[in-house]
Structure 1
Amino acid sequence: MNRVLIVTRVQLVGWQNTVGWPWLLLAMVFAVNYAVFWTIGDTEGNYTTGALVSIYIVVFVTSINWITQLLPFSMALSVIRRTFFLASALLLVVQSVVFGILLFLCQLAEKATGGWGIHLQFFGLNFVDDLHPLLRIAFYTMPFVLLGFLGIFVAVFYKRFGLTGMWLLTTATLLVLAGLAVLLTWQELWPAIGRWLVDQPQVAWFVGWPTLFTALFGGAGYVTLRRVTP
């Protein structure tokens, strides 16, 4: 465990990119949205944007960077692959929880100020604003974890199989999805699937399914990482 913590500290050497850049970009996006909607002036209802997704995209990119840049450096320091993966997973989970709590606090501030004084709904989303606080924190947190492990898997797969492997993986994924869509359409199962999705409890949407896909990507990333060369 001590070795994992040491490697985690190595990964935090460039904390400005890992921690600072996502929030700097989010602040810039928020400033642009605020300026735009402040210029528009008062209208009925709230201004709702989807710009919050920007911070999730940055976390996805930085998780790829951990593999492409830090893995060779760590292996040069005689860090074994298992230790590096566990350190990356620990850092990702802790960072995601902290980011989720911060976004939740921003949503509370947004609600308390009446949408920052202009009815701007940047951090809040209508379908989660009235949930239990822990569920709201989970809603903000789990996409960070899921996209982080997805980024790790993509980067590891690329280092293991190269660009050709990435193209084959992308093509195979699209073919499987297309075939599944054709099958569901042929069997007229879309209405039943829609009802099943609507009947899913909130905990399943915000915690259960993201956790399942996170485990899949995390396991696939770990297995692939075992054969990656610097």
Structure 2
Amino acid sequence: MNRVLPATRVHLITWPTLLAWPWGILLTSFVFNLVLFTGIGDDIEGGPQTGGLVSVYIVTMVSAGQSITQFFPFSLGLSVTRRTFYAAVSLLLLGESLLFGVMLYLCKLVERATDGWGISMGFFAPSFLNSDNPVLQILIYMVPFLVLGFFGIFAALVMKRWGISGLYVLSISLLSLLGLPAVLITWQGWWLAVGRWFGDQSALTLFAGWPALLALLLAGAGLLTIRRATT
């Protein structure tokens, strides 16, 4: 751990960027949604529920990938081992995910106190993400950051290890992983059953439980890949 913390501090050189870009883009998405639904919110039963929150997750994924492309060669030049570097990146992602989860929860409290910004809008807490337990709510916000962050790290390491061809293979693999089950479900007529299964799951299970397992798999895949990654 005494080697991991100094390696982590290297990444904190750009801490304003780590905070400014995700939250700047999230704020932009929020303003656009607020302006849009202020005009048409009364026509939506139960108030508008938006997906604008996903923007902060996408930017965090890109930022996690950039932590590899920007700091991996530099860290190895400072005689930081691959294992230590990966532990530092993972620790930073964990701390960032927790911080963002808490910040989103605070935004949810403001949204609830203002009755959805005066128009019953669910931006920070759309109905499908809601939990009345503060700890569980933070987990629901936090775990998807880990999933997308580790995916961004893994994708960047794939590019470091195999170049652009590796990214193409990864993209094809992902399309197959998502597309083949969709074809099978369509062929067997299982979409109603699949929809019922998802509907029976709690927000905690869908956004924290299963994704936590996926985050562990992606973290393990990244650890295996970085062993052979080159600068």
With normalisation by structure 2, the TM-score equals 0.90
Following superposition, the deviation at residue 135 of structure 1 comes to 1.7
Aligned pairs for 1:157-196 within 5 A: 157-196=158-197
Following superposition, the deviation at residue 73 of structure 1 comes to 0.9
Aligned counterpart, 2:223: 222
Q: Deviations over 1:71-122 (max 9, x none)?
A: 1111111111100100010110111011011101101111101122233322
Closer, same or farther in 2 for the Cα pair 1:222/1:186, shift >3 Å? same
What is the CA RMSD across the aligned residues, in angstroms? Answer: 2.0
Aligned counterpart, 1:77: 78
1:113 aligns with 2:114: yes
How far, CA to CA, are the matches of 2:78 and 2:117 in structure 1?
48
Aligned counterpart, 1:129: 130
Closer, same or farther in 2 for the Cα pair 1:199/1:95, shift >3 Å? same
Following superposition, the deviation at residue 49 of structure 1 comes to 2.0
Amino acid corresponding to residue 18 of structure 1 in structure 2: L
Aligned counterpart, 1:10: 10
How far, CA to CA, are the matches of 1:131 and 1:206 in structure 2?
15
Amino acid corresponding to residue 43 of structure 1 in structure 2: D
Amino acid corresponding to residue 87 of structure 1 in structure 2: A
* Higher mean C-alpha displacement, 211-220 vs 123-132: 123-132
Amino acid corresponding to residue 217 of structure 2 in structure 1: L
How far, CA to CA, are the matches of 1:182 and 1:128 in structure 2?
28
Following superposition, the deviation at residue 32 of structure 1 comes to 2.6
Closer, same or farther in 2 for the Cα pair 1:116/1:156, shift >3 Å? same
Q: When the two structures are aligned, how many residues end up with a matched partner? A: 229
Q: Percent identity?
A: 47
With normalisation by structure 1, the TM-score equals 0.90
Aligned counterpart, 2:20: 20
Closer, same or farther in 2 for the Cα pair 1:26/1:225, shift >3 Å? same
Closer, same or farther in 2 for the Cα pair 1:199/1:47, shift >3 Å? closer
Aligned counterpart, 1:35: 35
Closer, same or farther in 2 for the Cα pair 1:3/1:174, shift >3 Å? same
8 Å contact kept, 2:139–2:208: yes
* Higher mean C-alpha displacement, 129-138 vs 85-94: 129-138
8 Å contact kept, 1:135–1:206: no
Closer, same or farther in 2 for the Cα pair 1:138/1:68, shift >3 Å? same
How far, CA to CA, are the matches of 1:78 and 1:135 in structure 2?
40
Closer, same or farther in 2 for the Cα pair 1:125/1:169, shift >3 Å? same
What secondary structure is seen at the aligned counterpart in 1 of 2:85?
Answer: helix
* Higher mean C-alpha displacement, 188-197 vs 205-214: 188-197
Unaligned runs of 5+ in 1: none
How far, CA to CA, are the matches of 1:120 and 1:195 in structure 2?
26
Unaligned runs of 5+ in 2: none
Q: Deviations over 1:148-206 (max 9, x none)?
A: 00100000011101111211222233234433334444455545444444444544223
Closer, same or farther in 2 for the Cα pair 1:176/1:43, shift >3 Å? closer
